[in-house]
């Protein structure tokens, strides 16, 4: 249902991530229109002027930093849940460490839906300045196709890319046909958490229906050496069209629950 990738000296990412009924892959790795995107992953731009986004695959976008994950421990599985974490060192192009990152994940199989919670923690190894940018943070790439399209909806009622792009929302949801699914659309919603440094976050919603809650859109920010910041997100997996009532219910649960 969920595969965590954490190869040495590469960005960590989740892919494939399956629809909750097991039919169809909700994520796409290295699509032809964005070869540096990897299913469900995190990245940032302008970290002390360094990009941790395009992995050197976009000419003229450098300089690019690198990711160095540490060996993972086995996940903890308990009935319908699994929990794991992966930590990485982010380095500048000269090999100097800038920050330590930890992604702590928890997946819960709820039958008709799946819930994937993330606590994303950054620890500054040096004084850090994060520049304002149009995207950055937790990003989802689904297998969007121009010929089949897809739907977007935000907690604030925006239902087009133009209305959703750059706007604040408590959640953003997608639904679309999947190339390997024959029983109708399936989708993913990412839910923001009230404890996050910027809430509700502004969102990146790109022309291929890639989405990201992005603190960077709101403006520049800083993190002094040794200081830790954690952001929390819930990723809801479902089949069928976007169901705002369901997402709002899960969002309320996330906002008050211990996992949040």
pTM of the predicted model as reported, rounded to 2 decimal places: 0.97
Domain ranges within the chain, ordered by starting residue? 2-256
259 has pLDDT over 90: no
- What architecture is the 2-256 domain classified under in CATH? Distorted Sandwich (2.70)
pLDDT for residue 135: 96
Report residue 142's pLDDT band, with 50, 70 and 90 as the boundaries: very high
Confidence band of 258 (pLDDT split at 50, 70, 90): low
Q: With helix as H, strand as E and coil as C, how does the chain read?
A: CEEEECCCCCCCEEEEEECCCCCCECCCECCCCCCCCECEEEEEEEECCEEECCCCCCCCCCCECEEEECCCCCCEEECCEEEEEEEEEEECCCCCEEEEEEEEEEEEECCCCEEEEEEEEEEECCCEEECCCCCCEEEECCCCCCCCCCEEEECCCCCCHHHHCCCECCEEEEEECCCCCCCCCEEEEEEECCCCCCCCCEEEECCCCCEEECHHHHCCEEECCCCEEEEEEEEEEEECCCCHHHHHHHHHHHHHCCCC
Specify the range with the lowest mean pLDDT, choosing from 56-65, 122-131, 138-147, 246-255.
56-65
pLDDT digits (tens, 9 = 90+) for 110-127: 999 999 999 999 999 999
């Amino acid at each position: 249902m969920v595969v965590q990738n954490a190869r040495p000296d590469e960005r960590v990412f989740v892919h494939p991530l399956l629809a909750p009924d097991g039919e169809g892959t909700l994520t796409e790795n290295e699509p032809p229109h964005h070869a540096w995107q990897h299913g469900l992953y995190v990245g940032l731009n302008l970290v002390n002027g360094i990009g941790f986004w395009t992995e050197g695959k976009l000419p003229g976008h450098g300089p690019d930093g690198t990711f160095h994950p540490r060996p993972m421990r086995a996940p903890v599985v308990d009935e319908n849940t699994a929990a794991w974490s992966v930590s990485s060192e982010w380095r500048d192009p000269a090999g100097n460490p800038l920050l330590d990152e930890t992604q702590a994940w928890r997946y819960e199989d709820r039958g008709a839906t799946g819930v994937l919670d993330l606590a994303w923690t950054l620890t500054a190894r040096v004084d850090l300045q994060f520049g304002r940018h149009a995207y950055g943070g937790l990003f989802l790439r689904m297998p969007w196709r121009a010929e089949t399209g897809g739907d977007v909806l935000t907690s604030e009622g925006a239902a087009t890319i133009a209305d959703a792009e750059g706007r604040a929302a408590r959640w953003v949801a997608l639904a679309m046909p999947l190339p390997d699914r024959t029983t109708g659309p399936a989708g993913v919603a990412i839910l923001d958490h009230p404890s996050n440094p910027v809430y509700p976050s502004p969102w990146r919603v790109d022309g291929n229906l890639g989405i990201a809650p992005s603190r960077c859109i709101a403006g520049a920010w800083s993190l002094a050496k040794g200081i830790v910041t954690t952001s929390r997100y819930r990723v809801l997996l479902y089949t069928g069209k976007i169901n705002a009532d369901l997402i709002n219910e899960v969002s309320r649960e996330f906002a008050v629950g211990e996992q949040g």
